[in-house]
A and B are shown apart, each in its own frame.
Chain A
């Protein structure tokens, strides 16, 4: 299925959980925050959050800034 991750179209397996997606992308969950369709997802619920076709996912972290 197609989802949007950080503004880019991505083909991912159906019924993937957020935790699985992060693992597939090689992203350490402890250093990022995830937003799914404009709602912030609590860190403890990545395992129980399942993705569906057309989802908009934002994965952010802290970078240097003033």
Chain B
């Protein structure tokens, strides 16, 4: 049976979700996303520059028929602003799935948990498919899944930090109790970080800076695709138990006397 990521009644072959920020230009964005194999891409909602509106549009480079566009609420510091942003995004006609993030602190970009819960509750009620960015807190993750979020997205480390999974034990607890997909969102730095998340049994990984900020974003996009696939396969295969002492791989019988 094919191993697919099921999100809000839709199946995805790729378990890598990528952002579209920080690239040199839209052409590089397009190429990196294509190489990454991602089928879901995040975008931000921002004011049009009304004095120079004819600049190229991101969606000219990302066909919404080919990709699931996942608008985020990045930059929102209150539940109201996040809800407002989601309502606007929905009117753009790319579906009703949103990446909810309500930021609580400028320096760490950690989420404001009470505001995230408040916004999630309203958005679920309004029929949105809500994918919330949260700290690696099992209690919050549980509350979000119980209120009807389609996934929970605990951070590995602060957004853009590249530190990798800082608290694998909390992620394990979140996974153990999960009734919805768990997608590690933010803080991944390199391929092994993504592979570790997948080996632990996470359902997906969401990243932006790790690819866009690499010296060669296109090559890193490929590395991440392979890392997520390798990690997933290793998880499904079931790793050997760690032991302190050696176990020989070659037969002990028939050794020359």
**Interface residue ranges, A against B (CB under 8 Å):** 5-8, 25-28, 31-33, 35, 38, 40-43, 58-66
| B22 cross-chain contacts in A, Cβ below 8 A | 64, 66
Q: How far is the CB of A15 from chain B (nearest CB, A)?
A: 20
Chain B, range 34-92, C-beta contacts under 8 Å to A: 42-48, 50, 53-54, 57-59, 69, 71-72, 74, 84, 87-92
* 9 A–B contacts from the bound complex (CB under 8 Å): A25-B53, A26-B54, A38-B84, A42-B91, A60-B48, A63-B44, A65-B19, A66-B22, A66-B44
Q: Hey, which chain B residues are within 8 Å of A33, CB to CB?
A: 45, 88-89, 91-92
Contact A66 B50 (CB under 8 A): no
Residues of B within 8 A of A66 (CB): 19-22, 42, 44, 72, 74, 159-160, 186, 206-209
Size of the chain B interface, CB-CB below 8 angstroms: 40
B57 touches A31 (CB 8 A): yes
B88→A6 contact, CB < 8 A: no
- When the two chains form their complex, are residues B208 and A43 in contact, meaning their CB atoms are under 8 A apart? no
CB distance from A41 to the nearest CB of B (A): 8
Most buried by B among A31, A32, A43, A64: A64
With A40-B87, A43-B91, A66-B72 as contacts: A60 and B50 at CB distance below 8 Å:
no
Known contacts A64-B22, A65-B43, A6 near B50 by CB under 8 Å: yes
B47 contact from A26, A42, A59, Cβ within 8 A: A59
Residues of A within 8 A of B209 (CB): 66
Pick the residue among A27, A38, A59, A64 that contacts B19 (CB under 8 A).
A64
Query: A5 — nearest CB in chain B belongs to which residue?
Result: B50
Contact B48 A61 (CB under 8 A): yes
Q: Answer whether A62 and B48 are a contact pair too, CB < 8 Å, given A31-B59, A40-B91, A42-B91.
A: no
> From residue A8, how far is it (CB to closest CB) to chain B in Å?
7
Q: Which of A5, A59, A61, A65 contacts B20 (CB 8 A)?
A: A65
